[in-house]
Structure 1
Amino acid sequence: MKSTQLELFELFVNREDRERREKFGQASVSYHQASSILTASKGAMADFDFTLNPYSGCTFACSYCYAAFFTRTDEEQNNWGRWVRVKENALQLLMKFRKRPLYNKSIYMSSATDPYQPIERELELTRSLLQEFIKYHHIRLVVQTRSPLVVRDIELFKQFPSIQVNMSVTTDTEEVRKVFEPVCSSIEMRLKAIKQVREAGINACISLSPLLPIRNAEQFAHKLLDTGVSKYYLNSFHMNNSKFVSGTREGAIKLVNDLGWDDYKLNKTVVTLKNHLPELRVGGC
């Protein structure tokens, strides 16, 4: 019997008697059989052929996350950040494309979750999909994450003919990060991770979207440049137009007001960042 990691994972996901973790930290974990794994892209993702989401939901609990508004029920939306659903047959669904390989197709992973959920460290579901792509397909891949766990798969990324890893870094201070992104890794850890990706020779981009309150735009720009990444994209954060689903609205409003984060401060920050980051784009990356 073959004993590669990929085949071992196939055995794991097909075992009916396997033990399943139902909690990860404060978040609940459930498992289901998805009907498909690749979704034809449209709207904001129209530049790609497909989007791929190995998980539903997200336990990073970012209070501004747009994906919360695509949930199936009000309960799921109200509890956004406290649950994740594993698409346990994701690998099997992708394997069905072996007869007609996805030659030169562009895939965005992921559009409505983070492919490097904390539980990914144990399940390696995203990793199994990367291995499948490498073995049977010739694709162009963009990986979007805010997790330093992404460095685990650097050696796999090197085997793709075309790949870009995007890291979300939305503020320059832990005070802001803890209010808006309470379960995410620190800004320093994310910058360190994307620096490792770039030093490995992998195309990388930093997403400043949405741009949360910034204390010192010039210092922030220098920290971004120190990663070796040259591509950046930015979408503005407007407090008055945002809904919060993780119970942080009051604290967020107070912090925004304390920092004087209004349209004037936002626009001034964007100008400063543009002056230091010549390849900064407003919009997609």
Structure 2
Amino acid sequence: MIKPRYEGYCDSEPTKLVREKFGNTNVYGQIAKSLLTKATGFIAAYDFTLNPYRGCQYGCSYCYAAAFSPNNKMRQDWGNWVIFKENSEEILAKELHKWYKHNPQIPPRIYMSSVTDPYQPFESKYQLTRRLLEVMLDVRNDGHPTPTLVIQTRSPIITRDIDYLQRFQRLRINMSIPTGSESVRKDFEPRSPSIKARLNAIYIIKKSIDSTKGFVPRISITITPLLPTFINDEADFIDRLVIADRVVIQDFHPSHSSSLIASTRQEVITIKQKYAWWYDSEKSSYIKFKEKLISRLPHVDIKEGKDGFGYD
């Protein structure tokens, strides 16, 4: 099979042209053959992963998902392109129909998303994630339970879909907040929403969903990977995490130069040097921060790594 050649990232005639520019982002369309991918490895507790997009506009310096870019040029330009799966709703409906044909009363466990952010900025215009939520909810019309769903994001755009989110009986929202210091966030992930915006999004979700009229989702704050937080920010940041029922911490993935391996990008190495006070004793910094979480959040479930990413 001939690999697609993306305009702007190939040396010969492209087979995939830029559909539009969204800010500085090249947007491409793709016909998907499947949408639900068998979950393995780190999130093997699920039946499937679901990635509405390929690529992510947030382009975080440390993101392991860059390793799964279509080619090396796109890997190096992580954050400046996104591919949307234009037939997603049709494919998801067929795949869910196939699941429920064999498991009519057993909801599939779906993790959305493993290598993209389903609420990256382009979603505000294209609304693909919202349409996929609608497909998942439509299974109730045939008497099936809605999927068990976990949504991993760092975006306040998720609040737009509260009307749909409250209709999932088994939903967990994982809000990624790797640091409690804004200056650290700006160094490691300058394109991403502020810490305040992410926390406010969780407050809005919890405040807006009436338990007598809908299902209240479970909430995780995923501090993954754990980035430095300045000492004068620690107490306030940790105290604000009380809104969650779970906090997950994890250190960096190992770095690999090869593709198709979940790895931390080399781009983050220089940034880490700025925070030698933390990374020169990285193991100790991690342990001390974990101990503070446990001490200040006695009623919140503190988990590490893989153990924290299940629904339950």
TM-score, length-normalised on structure 2?
0.78
Asked if 1 retains the 8 angstrom alpha-carbon contact of 2:175 and 2:198, the reply is yes
**For residue 191 of structure 1, what is the aligned residue in structure 2?**
199
**For residue 85 of structure 2, what is the aligned residue in structure 1?**
87
2:286 to 266, 271, 282: 266
**For residue 37 of structure 1, what is the aligned residue in structure 2?**
35
Offset at residue 262 of structure 1 (A): 2.6
Question: What is the CA deviation profile of residues 209-252 of structure 1, one whole-angstrom value per residue up to 9, with x for unaligned ones?
Answer: 11100113322211212xx222111102489997435x5543x1
Asked if 1 retains the 8 angstrom alpha-carbon contact of 2:278 and 2:285, the reply is no
Question: Structure 2 vs 1, CA of residues 21 and 121 (structure 1 numbering), >3 Å: closer, same or farther?
Answer: farther
The 2-side partners of 1:239 and 1:108 are apart by: 23
**What code does the residue aligned with 2:119 have?**
Y
Number of aligned residue pairs: 262
- In the alignment, is residue 120 of structure 1 matched against residue 123 of structure 2? yes
The 2-side partners of 1:108 and 1:260 are apart by: 31
Q: Structure 2: which 5+ runs fail to align?
A: 1-17, 101-105, 210-215, 257-262
**What code does the residue aligned with 1:272 have?**
K
**What code does the residue aligned with 1:49 have?**
D
**For residue 161 of structure 1, what is the aligned residue in structure 2?**
169
Asked if 1 retains the 8 angstrom alpha-carbon contact of 2:173 and 2:218, the reply is yes
Tell me the SS of whatever aligns to 2:202: helix
1:39-54 matches, cutoff 5 A? 39-54=37-52
**For residue 206 of structure 1, what is the aligned residue in structure 2?**
221
> Which sits farther off after the overlay, 123-132 or 235-244?
235-244
**For residue 5 of structure 1, what is the aligned residue in structure 2?**
none
Asked if 2 retains the 8 angstrom alpha-carbon contact of 1:213 and 1:261, the reply is no
**For residue 7 of structure 2, what is the aligned residue in structure 1?**
none
**For residue 26 of structure 1, what is the aligned residue in structure 2?**
24
Question: Structure 2 vs 1, CA of residues 98 and 214 (structure 1 numbering), >3 Å: closer, same or farther?
Answer: closer
**What code does the residue aligned with 1:124 have?**
Q
The 1-side partners of 2:35 and 2:304 are apart by: 30
Offset at residue 169 of structure 1 (A): 0.6
Asked if 2 retains the 8 angstrom alpha-carbon contact of 1:218 and 1:273, the reply is no
> Which sits farther off after the overlay, 50-59 or 210-219?
210-219
Asked if 1 retains the 8 angstrom alpha-carbon contact of 2:252 and 2:264, the reply is no
The 1-side partners of 2:169 and 2:56 are apart by: 29
Offset at residue 261 of structure 1 (A): 5.9
**For residue 150 of structure 2, what is the aligned residue in structure 1?**
142
Offset at residue 257 of structure 1 (A): 2.0
Question: What is the CA deviation profile of residues 17-42 of structure 1, one whole-angstrom value per residue up to 9, with x for unaligned ones?
Answer: xxx86222222111111111000111
- Taking only the aligned residue pairs, the percentage that are identical comes to 38
Structure 1 residue runs of 4 or more that deviate by more than 6 Å after TM superposition: 238-242
- In the alignment, is residue 244 of structure 1 matched against residue 245 of structure 2? no
